[in-house]
């Protein structure tokens, strides 16, 4: 029980650092563009990250636990795998804390993958590592920010030319509100709605196919966002007819906030696995004395632990990395922040549909740079970008070496 308590504390430590660092991916641009305050961002992200982690975090956690290291090589030595997962928790927690202290957004999924590869190599040789997975992740490092940046630049250019630079921008915004609502729901609805509907009991659904029900929900959401947007636009036009740019940005700030909320939910459902997959593996070995191979069931209380850790870390340390993404690269307004958020979500969605592991940090930073290139590329903070790029580059080797060293020490003392 003492050992399990210690391992739970380690997982909570990793989740706290993950929350402090990665949650900037969903709320950084919203804070930077002044769409919401830092306190509001922490509350909103905390609720949505926790909900996403608890309700939909099982699949990613199971995949991480059994797909990076070859489980067949640990069948005869389950305690070695157990010590390795302890090393993963310690090394990932340390690296994420260091990166957060330096205000650098890093990829926690890459840290976990690198840490698992590090101890596996030391424990069972190079054949214990799924090198193809590492190659795919490395390729995703390069491709993700490029794709996200291109999508963000194109979407912001559309908003800029179709609304912001028109002679009558309010009329153009009025015309574009239904389309912006539809794009927003289409991008995020594909991530969230099918998953939500699949988890509902049949008794709660009408006698229609589940995918049709998802489409119906998405259509109603788009209609509701459109009607609310039109009503608020009419009210603001009457109250502030001489502040047209401010009215437009306030309207787009609401779209940006909705996009940030959906990213936070999706992020919690995916990245909680980085903290609790090693814990779930350890618990499985402790309870059964065997190594998980084909699948791994994640207990609900483990998901709750991960969600609590993410929210705690966000509340205590999250403002540092949020400031780096939201303000350190380039100054954002709601219009440009909305473009960056939407591009981030679209990039992650496309990659997920192809089964590619990508980093939300990479996608969002690439999107912010893409928007900055359209606005004024000279305004981009190259020093900040260099620091972020360096943190990306060194994450896997640092996590790998840390995990390998810690595992070597643990194996020396406990075997």
Exposure on the CB side of residue 298, measured as CA atoms within 13 A = 28
What pTM was computed for the model?
A: 0.78
Structure tokens at 217: 């929900």
Cα angle 45, 49, 52; round to 5:
145
Q: Cα-flanking dihedrals φ and ψ of residue 356, to 5°? A: -95, 130
Q: Cα-flanking dihedrals φ and ψ of residue 164, to 5°? A: -65, -35
Task: Tell me which residues of the chain have a pLDDT lower than 70.
Answer: 22-26, 28-29, 32-33, 56-63, 65, 67, 105, 133, 137, 191-192, 195-196, 198-208, 210-211, 238-242, 266, 269-270, 318-330, 349, 352-358
Cα–Cα distance, 57 to 45 (Å, whole number): 16
C-alpha pair distances (Å), 274 with each of 64, 113, 375: 7, 9, 35
> Alpha helices of 68-107 — where are they, by DSSP H?
78-101
Q: Which helix or strand (DSSP H or E) is residue 397 part of?
A: helix 382-414
Q: What is the pLDDT of residue 38?
A: 74
Per-residue model confidence as pLDDT tens digits over 39-65: 787 788 788 878 777 776 666 666 676
Q: What is the pLDDT of residue 287?
A: 87
C-alpha pair distances (Å), 143 with each of 252, 270, 361, 388: 28, 20, 13, 16
Cα angle 217, 358, 60; round to 5:
65
Cβ atoms of residues 356 and 136 within 8 Å: yes
At what angle are helices 131-159 and 334-353 packed, to 10 degrees?
140
Per-residue model confidence as pLDDT tens digits over 91-115: 999 988 888 787 776 777 778 888 9
CB atoms within 10 A of CB 192: 19
């Amino acid at each position: 029980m003492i050992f399990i308590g210690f391992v739970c504390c380690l997982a909570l430590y990793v989740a706290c650092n993950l929350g402090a660092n990665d949650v900037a991916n969903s709320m950084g641009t919203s804070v930077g563009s002044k769409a919401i305050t830092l306190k509001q961002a922490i509350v909103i992200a905390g609720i949505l990250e926790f909900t996403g982690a608890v309700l939909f975090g099982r699949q990613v956690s199971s995949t991480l636990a059994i797909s990076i290291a070859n489980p067949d090589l640990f069948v005869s030595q389950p305690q070695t795998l157990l010590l390795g997962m302890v090393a993963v928790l310690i090394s990932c927690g340390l690296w994420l804390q260091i990166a957060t202290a330096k205000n650098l957004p890093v990829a926690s999924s890459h840290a976990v993958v690198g840490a698992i590869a590090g101890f596996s190599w030391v424990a069972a040789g190079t054949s214990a590592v799924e090198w193809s997975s590492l190659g795919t992740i490395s390729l995703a490092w390069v491709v993700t920010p490029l794709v996200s940046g291109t999508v963000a630049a194109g979407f912001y250019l559309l908003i800029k030319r179709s609304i912001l630079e028109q002679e009558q921008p309010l009329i153009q915004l009025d015309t574009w509100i239904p389309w912006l609502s539809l794009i927003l729901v289409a991008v995020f609805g594909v991530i969230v709605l099918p998953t939500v509907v699949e988890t509902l009991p049949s008794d709660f659904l009408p006698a229609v196919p589940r995918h049709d029900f998802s489409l119906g929900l998405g259509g109603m959401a788009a209609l509701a966002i459109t009607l609310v947007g039109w009503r608020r636009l009419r009210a603001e036009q009457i109250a502030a007819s001489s502040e047209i740019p401010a009215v437009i940005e306030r309207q787009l700030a609401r779209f940006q906030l909705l996009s940030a909320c959906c990213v936070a939910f999706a992020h919690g459902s995916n990245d909680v696995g980085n903290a609790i997959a090693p814990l779930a593996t350890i618990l499985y070995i402790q309870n059964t004395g065997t190594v998980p191979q084909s699948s791994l069931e994640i207990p609900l209380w483990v998901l709750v632990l991960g969600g609590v850790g993410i929210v705690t870390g966000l509340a205590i340390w999250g403002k540092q990395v949020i400031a780096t993404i939201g303000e350190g690269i380039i100054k954002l307004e709601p219009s440009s922040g909305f473009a960056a958020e939407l591009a981030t979500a679209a990039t992650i969605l496309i990659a997920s549909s192809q089964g590619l592991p990508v980093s939300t940090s990479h996608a969002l930073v690439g999107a912010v740079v893409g928007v900055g290139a359209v606005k004024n590329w000279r305004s981009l903070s190259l020093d900040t970008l260099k620091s972020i790029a360096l943190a990306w580059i060194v994450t896997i080797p640092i996590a790998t070496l840390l995990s390998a060293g810690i595992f070597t020490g643990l194996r020396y003392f406990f075997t």
